[in-house]
Amino acid sequence: MDLPATIPLVLGLVLFSFLVTSFLIVPFIDLLYRMNLVRKKEAPRKGKIPLFDRLHDLKAGTPTGGGILLLIVVTVLFAILFPIAKRSGIFVHSNFSLNNELFIIFFTLVSFGLLGLSDDLIKIFGKPRRGMVGLWTGMSRNFKFFLQLILALFVAFYLNRVMGISIIHVPVFDRVVDLGGIYIIFAAFIIVFFANAFNFTDGLDGLASGLLMIFLIAFAIITAQALDTPLSVFIALWLGSIIAFLYFNIWPARIFLGDTGALSFGAMIAVIGLLTGNIFGLFVIGGIFVVEAFSSALQILGWRLFNRPILPLAPIHHTFLAIGWEEPKIVMRAWLAGIIMAIFGLWLSSI
Protein backbone atom coordinates (compact mmCIF):
# COMPACT_ATOMS: atom_id res chain seq x y z
CA MET A 1 0.00 0.00 0.00
CA ASP A 2 1.74 3.19 -1.16
CA LEU A 3 1.44 6.71 0.27
CA PRO A 4 -1.15 8.01 -2.26
CA ALA A 5 -3.41 5.05 -1.41
CA THR A 6 -2.92 5.58 2.33
CA ILE A 7 -4.09 9.21 2.36
CA PRO A 8 -7.76 8.62 1.35
CA LEU A 9 -8.05 5.76 3.86
CA VAL A 10 -6.63 7.85 6.71
CA LEU A 11 -8.78 10.89 5.91
CA GLY A 12 -11.92 8.78 5.61
CA LEU A 13 -11.29 7.13 8.97
CA VAL A 14 -10.71 10.51 10.63
CA LEU A 15 -14.10 11.72 9.37
CA PHE A 16 -15.91 8.52 10.34
CA SER A 17 -14.45 8.48 13.85
CA PHE A 18 -15.32 12.17 14.24
CA LEU A 19 -18.95 11.53 13.29
CA VAL A 20 -19.33 8.53 15.60
CA THR A 21 -17.81 10.36 18.58
CA SER A 22 -19.88 13.48 17.86
CA PHE A 23 -23.04 11.38 17.90
CA LEU A 24 -22.18 9.69 21.21
CA ILE A 25 -20.57 12.42 23.28
CA VAL A 26 -23.65 14.43 24.38
CA PRO A 27 -25.51 11.33 25.67
CA PHE A 28 -22.24 10.28 27.32
CA ILE A 29 -21.95 13.64 29.12
CA ASP A 30 -25.51 13.20 30.37
CA LEU A 31 -24.61 9.69 31.58
CA LEU A 32 -21.62 11.02 33.53
CA TYR A 33 -23.92 13.53 35.25
CA ARG A 34 -26.36 10.78 36.19
CA MET A 35 -23.54 8.62 37.57
CA ASN A 36 -22.16 11.63 39.48
CA LEU A 37 -18.79 11.25 37.75
CA VAL A 38 -18.00 14.93 38.09
CA ARG A 39 -15.03 16.88 39.36
CA LYS A 40 -15.12 17.49 43.10
CA LYS A 41 -13.88 20.51 45.05
CA GLU A 42 -10.46 19.89 46.56
CA ALA A 43 -10.01 22.97 48.74
CA PRO A 44 -9.93 22.46 52.53
CA ARG A 45 -13.18 23.48 54.22
CA LYS A 46 -11.38 25.43 56.92
CA GLY A 47 -8.34 27.67 56.94
CA LYS A 48 -6.42 29.24 54.08
CA ILE A 49 -7.36 28.00 50.61
CA PRO A 50 -4.30 27.32 48.41
CA LEU A 51 -4.06 29.31 45.16
CA PHE A 52 -4.27 26.12 43.08
CA ASP A 53 -7.60 25.20 44.65
CA ARG A 54 -8.95 28.72 44.25
CA LEU A 55 -8.24 28.59 40.54
CA HIS A 56 -9.35 25.03 39.88
CA ASP A 57 -12.34 24.53 42.13
CA LEU A 58 -14.22 26.82 39.74
CA LYS A 59 -14.32 23.75 37.48
CA ALA A 60 -16.00 21.56 40.12
CA GLY A 61 -19.19 19.89 38.90
CA THR A 62 -17.92 19.33 35.34
CA PRO A 63 -18.11 15.69 34.19
CA THR A 64 -14.78 13.89 34.05
CA GLY A 65 -14.19 10.63 32.22
CA GLY A 66 -14.21 11.66 28.58
CA GLY A 67 -11.23 9.36 28.10
CA ILE A 68 -13.52 6.39 28.75
CA LEU A 69 -15.63 7.23 25.69
CA LEU A 70 -12.63 7.87 23.45
CA LEU A 71 -10.96 4.60 24.44
CA ILE A 72 -14.14 2.65 23.72
CA VAL A 73 -14.80 4.39 20.40
CA VAL A 74 -11.25 3.97 19.07
CA THR A 75 -10.97 0.35 20.22
CA VAL A 76 -14.36 -0.75 18.88
CA LEU A 77 -14.02 1.09 15.56
CA PHE A 78 -10.57 -0.39 15.01
CA ALA A 79 -11.82 -3.89 15.84
CA ILE A 80 -14.64 -3.50 13.29
CA LEU A 81 -13.05 -1.47 10.50
CA PHE A 82 -9.54 -2.92 10.30
CA PRO A 83 -10.72 -6.47 9.41
CA ILE A 84 -13.21 -4.99 6.91
CA ALA A 85 -10.40 -3.02 5.27
CA LYS A 86 -8.27 -6.17 4.98
CA ARG A 87 -11.15 -8.17 3.46
CA SER A 88 -11.87 -5.34 1.02
CA GLY A 89 -8.54 -5.89 -0.67
CA ILE A 90 -6.62 -3.04 0.98
CA PHE A 91 -3.04 -4.18 1.30
CA VAL A 92 -1.92 -4.01 4.92
CA HIS A 93 1.75 -3.28 5.46
CA SER A 94 3.24 -3.49 8.94
CA ASN A 95 6.84 -2.88 9.93
CA PHE A 96 6.46 -5.63 12.57
CA SER A 97 4.43 -8.77 13.10
CA LEU A 98 0.85 -7.55 12.69
CA ASN A 99 -0.46 -9.36 15.77
CA ASN A 100 2.41 -8.11 17.93
CA GLU A 101 1.93 -4.52 16.82
CA LEU A 102 -1.81 -4.61 17.44
CA PHE A 103 -1.30 -6.21 20.85
CA ILE A 104 1.14 -3.59 22.11
CA ILE A 105 -0.98 -0.69 20.84
CA PHE A 106 -4.13 -1.83 22.56
CA PHE A 107 -2.45 -3.23 25.67
CA THR A 108 -0.89 0.18 26.28
CA LEU A 109 -4.11 2.04 25.58
CA VAL A 110 -6.32 -0.16 27.75
CA SER A 111 -3.96 -0.95 30.65
CA PHE A 112 -2.98 2.66 31.31
CA GLY A 113 -6.62 3.62 30.77
CA LEU A 114 -7.73 1.19 33.51
CA LEU A 115 -5.06 2.58 35.84
CA GLY A 116 -6.31 6.10 35.15
CA LEU A 117 -9.92 5.02 35.63
CA SER A 118 -9.07 3.59 39.06
CA ASP A 119 -7.48 6.89 40.02
CA ASP A 120 -10.49 8.85 38.74
CA LEU A 121 -12.92 6.75 40.78
CA ILE A 122 -10.85 7.17 43.93
CA LYS A 123 -10.68 10.93 43.35
CA ILE A 124 -14.44 11.19 42.90
CA PHE A 125 -15.69 8.76 45.53
CA GLY A 126 -12.71 8.45 47.89
CA LYS A 127 -12.04 10.46 51.02
CA PRO A 128 -9.63 13.40 50.60
CA ARG A 129 -6.55 13.46 52.80
CA ARG A 130 -4.17 16.25 53.67
CA GLY A 131 -1.25 16.68 51.31
CA MET A 132 1.79 18.94 51.21
CA VAL A 133 -0.39 21.83 50.00
CA GLY A 134 -4.15 21.56 50.59
CA LEU A 135 -5.96 18.23 50.27
CA TRP A 136 -4.87 15.21 48.22
CA THR A 137 -7.34 13.01 46.38
CA GLY A 138 -6.82 9.87 44.35
CA MET A 139 -4.13 7.18 44.56
CA SER A 140 -0.94 7.96 46.42
CA ARG A 141 1.77 9.26 44.10
CA ASN A 142 4.18 6.45 44.94
CA PHE A 143 1.65 3.66 44.38
CA LYS A 144 0.45 5.14 41.07
CA PHE A 145 4.04 5.59 39.91
CA PHE A 146 4.84 1.98 40.87
CA LEU A 147 1.91 0.66 38.80
CA GLN A 148 2.90 2.87 35.85
CA LEU A 149 6.45 1.54 36.06
CA ILE A 150 5.30 -2.09 36.07
CA LEU A 151 3.11 -1.54 32.99
CA ALA A 152 5.85 0.46 31.22
CA LEU A 153 8.48 -2.22 31.87
CA PHE A 154 6.17 -4.87 30.42
CA VAL A 155 5.52 -2.77 27.30
CA ALA A 156 9.24 -2.00 26.93
CA PHE A 157 10.15 -5.68 27.38
CA TYR A 158 7.60 -6.68 24.73
CA LEU A 159 8.88 -4.05 22.29
CA ASN A 160 12.46 -5.19 22.74
CA ARG A 161 12.34 -8.96 23.24
CA VAL A 162 9.22 -9.90 21.27
CA MET A 163 9.12 -7.26 18.53
CA GLY A 164 12.90 -6.86 18.27
CA ILE A 165 13.00 -3.07 18.63
CA SER A 166 16.26 -1.72 20.04
CA ILE A 167 17.14 1.24 17.83
CA ILE A 168 16.48 4.97 17.74
CA HIS A 169 17.04 7.31 14.82
CA VAL A 170 19.17 10.41 15.33
CA PRO A 171 18.12 13.10 12.82
CA VAL A 172 20.47 15.67 11.26
CA PHE A 173 23.37 13.19 11.63
CA ASP A 174 21.17 10.48 10.05
CA ARG A 175 22.44 7.87 12.48
CA VAL A 176 20.72 4.82 13.91
CA VAL A 177 21.76 3.90 17.46
CA ASP A 178 21.26 0.34 18.70
CA LEU A 179 20.70 0.35 22.47
CA GLY A 180 20.52 -3.42 22.83
CA GLY A 181 19.12 -4.59 26.17
CA ILE A 182 19.37 -1.08 27.64
CA TYR A 183 16.44 -0.24 25.36
CA ILE A 184 14.04 -1.78 27.92
CA ILE A 185 15.02 0.73 30.64
CA PHE A 186 15.12 3.55 28.09
CA ALA A 187 11.66 2.75 26.66
CA ALA A 188 10.09 2.30 30.11
CA PHE A 189 11.40 5.73 31.12
CA ILE A 190 9.97 7.32 27.97
CA ILE A 191 6.54 5.74 28.57
CA VAL A 192 6.31 6.77 32.24
CA PHE A 193 7.63 10.24 31.41
CA PHE A 194 5.01 10.96 28.76
CA ALA A 195 2.17 9.36 30.73
CA ASN A 196 2.85 11.86 33.50
CA ALA A 197 3.75 14.75 31.18
CA PHE A 198 0.37 14.48 29.45
CA ASN A 199 -1.36 14.21 32.82
CA PHE A 200 0.39 17.38 34.03
CA THR A 201 -0.63 19.20 30.85
CA ASP A 202 -4.29 18.25 31.21
CA GLY A 203 -5.08 21.12 33.57
CA LEU A 204 -6.74 23.78 31.43
CA ASP A 205 -9.77 23.50 29.16
CA GLY A 206 -8.66 22.19 25.77
CA LEU A 207 -4.93 22.39 26.49
CA ALA A 208 -3.89 18.72 26.44
CA SER A 209 -6.52 17.55 23.93
CA GLY A 210 -5.65 20.36 21.49
CA LEU A 211 -1.94 19.59 21.73
CA LEU A 212 -2.74 15.91 21.24
CA MET A 213 -4.65 16.76 18.06
CA ILE A 214 -1.58 18.58 16.72
CA PHE A 215 0.69 15.70 17.75
CA LEU A 216 -1.52 13.11 16.02
CA ILE A 217 -1.68 15.10 12.78
CA ALA A 218 2.12 15.22 12.71
CA PHE A 219 2.56 11.52 13.45
CA ALA A 220 -0.18 10.60 10.99
CA ILE A 221 2.10 12.07 8.33
CA ILE A 222 5.13 10.21 9.72
CA THR A 223 3.39 6.82 9.91
CA ALA A 224 1.83 7.26 6.46
CA GLN A 225 5.29 7.89 5.02
CA ALA A 226 6.58 4.81 6.85
CA LEU A 227 3.67 2.81 5.32
CA ASP A 228 2.71 1.37 8.72
CA THR A 229 -0.96 0.62 8.04
CA PRO A 230 -2.08 -0.51 11.54
CA LEU A 231 -0.53 2.53 13.20
CA SER A 232 -1.91 4.86 10.52
CA VAL A 233 -5.43 3.44 10.99
CA PHE A 234 -5.16 3.69 14.77
CA ILE A 235 -3.95 7.29 14.69
CA ALA A 236 -6.66 8.26 12.18
CA LEU A 237 -9.44 6.87 14.40
CA TRP A 238 -7.90 8.47 17.48
CA LEU A 239 -7.53 11.82 15.71
CA GLY A 240 -11.15 11.97 14.56
CA SER A 241 -12.33 11.08 18.05
CA ILE A 242 -10.17 13.69 19.80
CA ILE A 243 -11.34 16.43 17.41
CA ALA A 244 -14.97 15.68 18.31
CA PHE A 245 -14.06 15.62 22.01
CA LEU A 246 -12.18 18.92 21.73
CA TYR A 247 -15.36 20.72 20.66
CA PHE A 248 -16.78 20.04 24.13
CA ASN A 249 -13.47 20.39 25.97
CA ILE A 250 -12.50 23.93 24.99
CA TRP A 251 -13.23 26.73 27.45
CA PRO A 252 -15.63 26.58 29.21
CA ALA A 253 -15.31 22.80 29.15
CA ARG A 254 -18.38 20.59 29.33
CA ILE A 255 -16.30 17.45 29.86
CA PHE A 256 -12.76 16.53 30.96
CA LEU A 257 -10.58 13.60 29.89
CA GLY A 258 -9.81 12.54 33.45
CA ASP A 259 -6.84 10.36 34.31
CA THR A 260 -8.43 7.58 32.23
CA GLY A 261 -7.59 9.50 29.10
CA ALA A 262 -4.55 11.40 30.34
CA LEU A 263 -2.46 8.42 31.47
CA SER A 264 -3.57 6.25 28.56
CA PHE A 265 -2.96 8.89 25.90
CA GLY A 266 0.37 9.98 27.36
CA ALA A 267 1.67 6.41 27.40
CA MET A 268 0.31 5.83 23.91
CA ILE A 269 2.07 8.79 22.30
CA ALA A 270 5.31 7.45 23.80
CA VAL A 271 4.68 4.02 22.25
CA ILE A 272 3.98 5.65 18.88
CA GLY A 273 7.37 7.34 19.09
CA LEU A 274 9.02 4.05 20.06
CA LEU A 275 7.31 2.05 17.29
CA THR A 276 8.43 4.55 14.67
CA GLY A 277 11.93 4.83 16.17
CA ASN A 278 11.39 8.59 16.12
CA ILE A 279 12.29 9.52 19.70
CA PHE A 280 13.69 12.93 18.79
CA GLY A 281 10.51 13.71 16.86
CA LEU A 282 8.50 12.56 19.87
CA PHE A 283 10.25 15.04 22.17
CA VAL A 284 10.08 17.88 19.66
CA ILE A 285 6.50 17.39 18.41
CA GLY A 286 5.40 16.71 21.99
CA GLY A 287 7.58 19.55 23.23
CA ILE A 288 4.89 21.34 25.25
CA PHE A 289 4.24 18.13 27.19
CA VAL A 290 7.99 18.02 27.94
CA VAL A 291 8.03 21.64 29.14
CA GLU A 292 5.04 20.98 31.40
CA ALA A 293 6.75 17.94 32.93
CA PHE A 294 10.04 19.73 33.54
CA SER A 295 8.28 22.71 35.14
CA SER A 296 6.65 20.31 37.60
CA ALA A 297 10.00 18.64 38.27
CA LEU A 298 11.53 22.07 38.88
CA GLN A 299 8.81 22.88 41.40
CA ILE A 300 9.37 19.60 43.26
CA LEU A 301 13.11 20.32 43.29
CA GLY A 302 12.43 23.71 44.86
CA TRP A 303 10.39 22.17 47.67
CA ARG A 304 12.98 19.43 48.27
CA LEU A 305 16.09 21.65 48.23
CA PHE A 306 14.85 25.05 49.43
CA ASN A 307 11.57 24.15 51.15
CA ARG A 308 9.83 26.68 48.93
CA PRO A 309 8.38 26.76 45.40
CA ILE A 310 10.42 28.09 42.48
CA LEU A 311 7.37 28.95 40.35
CA PRO A 312 4.16 30.58 41.62
CA LEU A 313 2.37 27.37 40.59
CA ALA A 314 3.24 24.26 38.62
CA PRO A 315 2.98 23.01 35.94
CA ILE A 316 3.85 26.14 34.03
CA HIS A 317 0.36 26.77 32.60
CA HIS A 318 -0.75 27.34 36.21
CA THR A 319 1.97 29.97 36.59
CA PHE A 320 0.55 31.91 33.66
CA LEU A 321 -2.91 31.55 35.20
CA ALA A 322 -1.62 32.78 38.56
CA ILE A 323 -0.04 35.92 37.09
CA GLY A 324 -3.30 36.93 35.44
CA TRP A 325 -3.35 35.44 31.94
CA GLU A 326 -6.80 34.39 30.82
CA GLU A 327 -7.24 30.64 30.39
CA PRO A 328 -8.18 30.70 26.66
CA LYS A 329 -5.14 32.88 25.93
CA ILE A 330 -2.80 30.40 27.60
CA VAL A 331 -4.34 27.50 25.68
CA MET A 332 -4.30 29.23 22.28
CA ARG A 333 -0.67 30.28 22.67
CA ALA A 334 0.28 26.75 23.72
CA TRP A 335 -1.45 25.42 20.60
CA LEU A 336 0.48 27.89 18.43
CA ALA A 337 3.75 26.81 20.04
CA GLY A 338 2.69 23.19 19.52
CA ILE A 339 2.06 23.79 15.81
CA ILE A 340 5.51 25.32 15.34
CA MET A 341 7.16 22.47 17.23
CA ALA A 342 5.21 19.94 15.15
CA ILE A 343 6.46 21.58 11.95
CA PHE A 344 10.00 21.55 13.33
CA GLY A 345 9.66 17.89 14.34
CA LEU A 346 8.37 16.93 10.88
CA TRP A 347 11.27 18.78 9.31
CA LEU A 348 13.74 16.91 11.54
CA SER A 349 12.07 13.62 10.61
CA SER A 350 12.48 14.34 6.91
CA ILE A 351 16.20 15.12 6.84
Beta partners for residue 170, in sequence order: 175
Question: Is residue 235 a contact partner of residue 272, using CB atoms and an 8 Å limit?
Answer: yes
CA distance 210 to 245: 10
CB-based contacts of 166: which residues, under 8 Å, 6+ apart? 160, 178, 179, 180, 181, 183
* Residue 227 Cα to chain centre, angstroms: 23
Asked if residue 259 belongs to a known ligand binding site, the reply is yes
**Full 3-state SS string of 135-198:** EECCCCHHHHHHHHHHHHHHHHHHHHHHCCCCEEEECCCCEEEECHHHHHHHHHHHHHHHHHHH
Largest CA distance in the chain: 67
Cα distance from N-terminal residue to C-terminal residue, the chain: 23
At 241, give phi and psi (nearest 5°). -70, -40
Asked if residue 142 belongs to a known ligand binding site, the reply is no
Q: Which residues are annotated as a binding site?
A: 199, 259
Binding-site positions for Mg(2+) read 199, 259
